Amino acid sequence: MNRKLKNRLELTLIYAVVLIMFVVISYPLLWTLSISLNPGTSMFSSSLVPERWSTTHYEWLFTNPQSDYLLWYKNTLLVASVTSAASVIIVSFVAYAFSRYDFVGRKYGIYSFLLLQMFPVLMGMVAIYLLLNVVGLLDSLWGLVIIYIGGGLPMNAFLVKGYLDTIPRDLDESAKIDGAGHFRIFFQILTPLAKPILAVVALFNFMAPFMDFLLPRIILRSPEKFTLALGLFNFINDKFANNFTRFSAGAILIAVPIAVVFLFLQRYLITGLAEGGTKG
């Protein structure tokens, strides 16, 4: 087999794998979109394109007085935005301290981060419930925010710390010679270079409240404080009124803010990588 034929076969195989993955990922999304455009309440359809498609379910979510969808959307956006912003700030400082300073307990602190990631979240649900009940944050969006921030801190800090370790310390020393303090080094030198990993942390922490169902289910009790995942569950929870089409419409709209944040952070991600490559 000559080299040219081998390269064609490898390229064909790569395209085949990409095509299969595209079908696997896109088919459920297209089916969900198709169901959301079905004017009835059934989740079954003879084709991906409904014969009588309608935006009735989308209109109901936003205009019907009985719908709390906009309230759930507002709650989720609040939790996601605060969690994402606070996580980036807290994780940045924690990772900077572990990456650039030598202090008592530093080594064991890093080991603790790794150890905490080995235990599933379900193990701590009872403790989380009791803790929030004691401090009066049960059935509170702010209690949910605190748990999201604290739960993601070990892994996020470990990731950012590893990225900061790849940035030469010579930059810190040069800045100190020029009279820069620790905060100036952090904000003007390390933070711009760490944009790629900080963008990843921001995106993942923004997505979590949209996707998570179990934690809000345990913490939140009042319908007016539900997040989207918990609120949409009500559409299919009642066995006598399963409305999968309305559920699908609400689920499709969840992707809108996530896509917007992804596109926004992607610009910073590419810029950070380009700057890092140029300075390296």
C-alpha to C-alpha distance for 161 and 183, rounded to whole angstroms: 17
Query: Worst-scoring range by mean pLDDT, 95-104, 168-177, 187-196, 267-276?
Result: 267-276
More confident call, 50 vs 190: 190
CB-CB contact of 57 with 249 (8 Å): yes
Mean pLDDT for 204-210 is 92
Structure letter (DSSP) for residue 43: S
229-275 pLDDT, tens digit per residue, is 998 887 777 654 567 888 888 888 898 898 888 888 887 766 544 44
Tokens for 206? Answer: 């923004």
Tokens for 15? Answer: 């395209």
- Whether the predicted pLDDT of 40 surpasses 50: yes
The domain defined by 68-279 folds into: MetI-like fold (1.10.3720)
- Whether the predicted pLDDT of 84 surpasses 80: yes
Q: Which residues contact 140 (CB under 8 A, 6 or more apart)?
A: 132, 219, 225
For the chain, which residues make up each domain, given as ranges? 3-58, 68-279
124-155 pLDDT, tens digit per residue, is 888 888 889 999 889 999 999 999 998 888 88
CB-CB contact of 242 with 236 (8 Å): yes
Question: What average pLDDT does the chain have?
Answer: 84
> What is the pLDDT at residue 273?
46
More confident call, 213 vs 236: 213
